[in-house]
Amino acid sequence: MKPFLSVPAGELIFRPLFALTLNSRWSPQTQRTLLEMSTLLLPRVPHSVIRSVTLGDRSAERVSVGATEHGRAVLYLHGGAYIVGSPTTHRALTTTLARAAGAEVYALDYRLAPEHPMPAAVDDSVAAYLALLERGYSPESVAIAGDSAGGGLSVATARVLIDEHGVTPAALGLISPWVNPAGVSEDLGTDIVVNLEWSRQGAAAYLGDGDPTDPRYAPAVGPLEGLPPTLVQIGQRELLLEQVTEFVASLREAGVDVTASDLGPLWHVAHTAAPLVTEAAAAVDDLGRFLGDRLRYSQAVLAEPAGRNAG
What is the distance in angstroms between the CA of the first residue and the CA of the last residue of the chain? 12
Peptide bond before 119: cis, by omega within 30 degrees of 0? Answer: yes
Examine residue 114 and say whether the peptide bond preceding it is cis (omega within 30 degrees of 0).
yes
Relative orientation angle of helices 28-38 and 7-21, to the nearest 10 degrees: 150
DSSP 86: -
Among residues 11, 61, 104, 238, the one annotated as catalytic is 238
Q: 66 in the Ramachandran plot: left (φ > 0), alpha (ψ -120 to 50) or beta? A: left
Is 148 marked active-site?
yes
| Whether residue 47 lies in the annotated active site | no
In terms of DSSP bridges, do strands 142-147 and 73-77 run parallel, antiparallel, or are they unpaired? parallel
Residues contacting 16, CB < 8 A, separation 6+: none
Extended strands (E) in 168-254: 172-175, 230-234
Residue 189 to residue 198: CA distance in whole angstroms? 13
| Residue in 78, 90, 268, 271 annotated catalytic | 268
With contact defined as beta carbons under 8 Å apart, do 3 and 280 qualify?
yes
Compute the chain's Rg from CA coordinates.
17
Of 48, 148, 199, 298, the catalytic one is 148
253 noted as active-site residue: no
Write b or e for each residue in 163-190: b if 16 or more Cβ atoms lie within 10 A of its Cβ, otherwise e: eeeebebbbbbbbbbbbbbbbbeeeeee
Q: Is 123 left (phi over 0), alpha (psi -120 to 50) or beta?
A: alpha
Question: Which active-site residues does the annotation give?
Answer: 148, 238, 268
